[in-house]
Amino acid sequence: MSSQRSPLGEVLTELVLETFRFNGTVLEAGNRITKPHGLTSARWQVMGAIELAGTPLTVPQIARRMGLARQGVQRIVRDLSGLDMVNLTSNRDHKRAPLVSLSKEGIRVLEEINKAQAIWINELSEGLSERGVKQALKVVKAVRERSEEIESQQT
């Protein structure tokens, strides 16, 4: 393979850089939305993974589903447990990996955050076409999947 970027490689590099910038602005917005509840975007992301699963998860499962480092998720789960946002229960299949579920308070707070997120995302979506957003999603998902495929081949 050539060590020079192809024309498509140049455009994809621009997409990656824009994704980094986009991620920063989304995290800022997430921190603003979650701050009144004593949370951060990272804590919200972990709680959201549990909510999406609809069932208790272990820390490694949360990390895999969200593409995060296990140690980071472990720290966040410990913080969330201290805030009474999640419950940790023993896991009969793996004694060292407790199951993490949302507490009643966690569910309540997540509902409030989700309401605020809906207002923000609806405002953000004004002027965008649904077709364009779906196409962007398709491209970003394909790039992520291809990247994961390449990474798994190199490890």
Read off the pLDDT of each residue in 69-78 and give the average, rounded to a whole number: 96
β-strands 86-89, 99-102: how paired? Answer: antiparallel
Read off the pLDDT of each residue in 38-46 and give the average, rounded to a whole number: 96
Return d(Cα 45, Cα 47) in angstroms, integer.
5
Distances (CA, A) of 68 to 1, 75, 140, 151: 30, 12, 18, 15
Domain CATH number, residue 60: 1.10.10.10
Supply the DSSP symbol for 96.
Answer: T
Distances (CA, A) of 67 to 40, 102, 113: 17, 20, 22
Number of domains, the chain = 1
Output the average pLDDT for the chain.
94
Helix crossing, 70-82 with 59-66: angle to 10°?
A: 120
Residue 1 belongs to some domain of the structure: no
State pLDDT tens for residues 133-143.
999 999 999 99
The percentage of residues in the chain with a pLDDT greater than 70, rounded to a whole number, is: 99
Higher pLDDT, 41 or 92: 41
Supply the DSSP symbol for 151.
Answer: H
Residue 95 has pLDDT above 90, yes or no: no
State pLDDT tens for residues 1-21.
678 999 999 999 999 999 999
Domain boundaries, position 98? 7-154
